[in-house]
Amino acid sequence: MQIESVNHFDLILKGGTVVDPAQSLHTRADVAFRDGLVAAVGDALPTANAREVIDCDGHIVAPGLIDLHVHVFPGISHYGIEPDHHCIAHGVTTAVDAGSAGADTFPGFRKYVIDVSATTLFAQLNISSQGMLNGEIGELQDIRFANVERALATIESNRDRILGVKVRLTRNSLVSPEAGLRPLHLAREAADSAGLPIMVHPQDAWADSIDEILAVMGSRDILTHCFHADPCGILNDAGRIRESVLAARERGVIFDVGHGAGSFDWQVAESALAQGFLPQTISSDLHIYNVEGPVFDLTTTISKFLHLGLPLNDALAKATAEPAAAIGMADTIGALKPGAWGDAVVLAVEEGDFKLIDSKGATRSGRQRLMPTQIVKAGQRYTTDTPHKAR
């Protein structure tokens, strides 16, 4: 517990159960904010001089959630949704757009979405310069769109927002037979030249198995959609975790959920977890085609992992501390420690019988689900009237 000597606070979250996996903290406490940052965590913090106090008794108080895979370029990308309505309003204070924009479209994405949203937004730049524009024509059906030089120029102009290079490898619908796995290697070339990792969407690629894809990946790279049931998955024909997957995890490849409309299968997830293979990060892959189900939001995806048997602290770690570390911001977000950004979410843990649906329509009955009740952004209680971010 850390308490500052100064008693003036802008906001106090009072009397909740603070769950902060980054600090191995799970205890009843108050959390105070001042000047946009976490100011103090402790018992019975003084409220007399606080501008606002929120009673959190009976609720979880956690760091603001981090979603490493969303699509929030509305009006341009056919996948795009409004970030504030679907992210921060649901407890996600920081999100990473996973390739909606490429070099040709990123300037507009930054100006009209990133710079004016209350949700703090970062991006994986699509190796395709057009990004994810059209639902009928994939961004890499013409390999000429995979332009390394233009990707690098865009990265250099936006180092503060671009975290890596995204490539989607699904055959036919996204990548032509002539291109094969070349987009993966071009993404690798661009990322290496920029000193950044890659994020790979692997399913049904022009490869015999995921082994060929993982051979190109190393520390800090992100393999998203890790529990999909299409070809190029993490399980072999016998249903065991592939040796290449285990080796990749050992050398630091990050395995991310990326639920999506077609990338989370109950049987694959159950088999993987039964073998002790957990994702490092839980993300939603939230977009226009799944926001009304089966994904809905990040807390629904986290709730699915509570059903799979993850303890609450572990599940929340994979949407707070772990993604913060994955993007190199562990000292800034994903934790409720003094000096970190003042982002938090108050969660109710509802008990009942909840229908949980995977991307193929299979259902499970969950007994718990997380529901955000209050969101704090930059030390202020978030409402639709909250000004856009200053960071």
The predicted-structure confidence for 16-53, as pLDDT tens digits, reads as follows 999 999 999 999 999 999 999 999 999 999 999 999 99
**Do the Cβ atoms of 33 and 9 come closer than 8 Å?**
yes
- Reported pTM: 0.97
Q: Domain extents for the chain?
A: 64-326
Label residues 337-364 b or e (16+ Cβ within 10 Å = b): beebbbbbbbbeeeeeebebbbbeeeee
**pLDDT tens readout for residues 151-192:** 999 999 999 999 999 999 999 999 999 999 999 999 999 999
Q: Which residues pair with 124 in a beta bridge?
A: 98, 164
Residue 384: per-residue pLDDT? 72
* Predicted local distance difference test score (pLDDT) of residue 5: 46
Amino acid 41: pLDDT: 98
User: CA-CA distance, 165 to 194, in Å (whole number)?
Assistant: 9
What is the SS3 assignment for 167?
A: strand
Q: What is the DSSP letter of 203?
A: T
pLDDT tens, residue by residue, 339-359 = 999 999 999 999 999 999 999
The confidence score (pLDDT) of residue 388 equals 59
Q: What is the pLDDT of residue 3?
A: 46
Between CA 207 and CA 213, with CA 210 as vertex, the angle to 5 degrees is 75
Range list of β-strands (E), the chain: 11-20, 25-34, 37-42, 52-55, 60-63, 65-70, 92-98, 120-126, 162-168, 198-201, 222-223, 254-255, 344-357, 363-377, 380-381
Domain 64-326 adopts which CATH fold?
TIM Barrel (3.20.20)
Task: Quote the CA–CA distance of 155 and 123 in Å, as a whole number.
Answer: 10
What pLDDT is attached to residue 92?
Answer: 98
277-288 residue pLDDT tens: 999 999 999 999
CA distance 283 to 141: 27
CB 183 within 8 A of CB 140: yes
Report how far residue 362's alpha carbon sits from residue 312's, in angstroms, rounded to the nearest whole number: 23
- DSSP per-residue codes, 223-259: E--TB--SSS-SB-TTSPBPHHHHHHHHTTPEEB---
Q: Residue 4: pLDDT above 50?
A: no
Residues 6+ apart with CB under 8 A from 66: 92, 93, 94, 95, 96, 319, 320, 323, 324, 327, 333, 334
Query: How many C-beta atoms surround the C-beta of residue 38 within 10 A?
Result: 24
Cβ partners under 8 Å of residue 377, min gap 6 = 64, 88, 93, 118, 342, 343, 386, 389
Express as a percent the part of the chain with pLDDT over 90. 95
Q: Is the per-residue pLDDT at 204 higher than 90?
A: yes
How many angstroms separate the Cα of 283 from the Cα of each of 43, 212, 262, 298?
A: 32, 24, 14, 7
The DSSP symbol for 293 reads: T
Q: What does DSSP say about strands 363-377 and 344-357: parallel, antiparallel, or unpaired?
A: antiparallel
d(CA 337, CA 181): 43
**Whether the predicted pLDDT of 14 surpasses 70:** yes
Where residue 89 falls among pLDDT bands split at 50, 70, 90? very high
Return d(Cα 117, Cα 18) in angstroms, integer: 27
Structure tokens at 48: 């007399």
Mean pLDDT of the chain: 96
Give residue-wise pLDDT tens across range 227-280. Answer: 999 999 999 999 999 999 999 999 999 999 999 999 999 999 999 999 999 999
What span, in angstroms and rounded, lies between the C-alpha atoms of 294 and 301? Answer: 9
The pLDDT confidence band at residue 1, using thresholds 50, 70 and 90, is: very low
